[in-house]
Structure 1
Amino acid sequence: MFNNMKQLDTELLVGYIDNLGVDVVRQMLALYIEQSQIYLDDIAETVENENQSGWQEACHKMKGAAGSVGLSVVHQQLVQVEKSTDEWPRKREYLALLKHENQLSITTFETWLDSQ
């Protein structure tokens, strides 16, 4: 279901660095890392409780957070699954993929940021 695309929105991130500085962008990433874990926990809880409205709400929040820090692939995955009415076993698969992609994107962001 998920499409391959550029991991980071580097145009957005370079704009942040130019306007805010590298230290502020590092703080943004640190905050995202904390928040994304909360969002992933919330999404997992909605899967356990089979709560469709909770699923949409939690995915929507994480989608916004991922987009705001330039995590293109994570954002796109959430666009694709946010309103999914697939069965819960399939949503468990989406969650596992999302966790994996989120960690990969964070690592990519950290590596990219260290090179700036």
Structure 2
Amino acid sequence: MFNNMKQLDTELLVGYIDNLGVDVVRQMLALYIEQSQIYLDDIAETVENENQSGWQEACHKMKGAAGSVGLSVVHQQLVQVEKSTDEWPRKREYLALLKHENQLSIITFETWLDSQ
């Protein structure tokens, strides 16, 4: 069992497992993986088009999804950048970091779930 998993809200996830079972939590993760790719594509599109309102909307959607499946680092990152008015090159950097953290968090979640 992992003791210090800052990437995951394990208290939330244990509650899900206790109430819904591991199989349902696996389904939740699978849905998040699908949806997060759509959200990341949407965020990338807002950067390409330099669309500030679209940026906020797309980040907000992904923030909610990440929070609901216990991906703490991804959620916190989105809290920090959602309302950012930084220049677009900086937002490209945020997007790259977000993609990286999202992938790490998914792997961490999968590993944690396998240990349950």
Task: Tell me, yes or no, whether TM beats 0.5.
Answer: yes
Following superposition, the deviation at residue 18 of structure 1 comes to 0.0
Q: Deviations over 1:19-60 (max 9, x none)?
A: 000000000000000000000000000000000000000000
With over 3 angstroms needed to count, the CA separation of the structure-2 counterparts of 1:94 and 1:4, relative to structure 1, is farther
> The residue matched to 2:84 in structure 1 has which SS?
coil
**Residues paired across the two proteins, number:** 116
Q: Which runs of 5+ in 2 are unaligned?
A: none
Following superposition, the deviation at residue 95 of structure 1 comes to 0.0
With over 3 angstroms needed to count, the CA separation of the structure-2 counterparts of 1:110 and 1:3, relative to structure 1, is closer
Following superposition, the deviation at residue 2 of structure 1 comes to 22
Following superposition, the deviation at residue 86 of structure 1 comes to 0.1
Q: Deviations over 1:41-92 (max 9, x none)?
A: 0000000000000000000000000000000000000000000000000000
With over 3 angstroms needed to count, the CA separation of the structure-2 counterparts of 1:63 and 1:102, relative to structure 1, is same
Divergent runs of 4+, >3 A: 1-5
TM-score by length of 1: 0.96
Q: Contact between 1:74 and 1:101, CA under 8 Å: does it hold in 2? A: yes
Following superposition, the deviation at residue 3 of structure 1 comes to 19
Q: Deviations over 1:76-112 (max 9, x none)?
A: 0000000000000000000000000000000000000
> The residue matched to 2:4 in structure 1 has which SS?
coil
| 1:78 aligned partner | 78
Following superposition, the deviation at residue 11 of structure 1 comes to 0.1
Q: Contact between 1:7 and 1:108, CA under 8 Å: does it hold in 2? A: yes
> 2-side partners of 1:36 and 1:62: how far apart?
7
**Is 1:53 matched up with 2:53?**
yes
> 1-side partners of 2:81 and 2:90: how far apart?
10
> 2-side partners of 1:45 and 1:74: how far apart?
19
Identity, in percent, stands at 99
Following superposition, the deviation at residue 5 of structure 1 comes to 8.0
Q: Which runs of 5+ in 1 are unaligned?
A: none
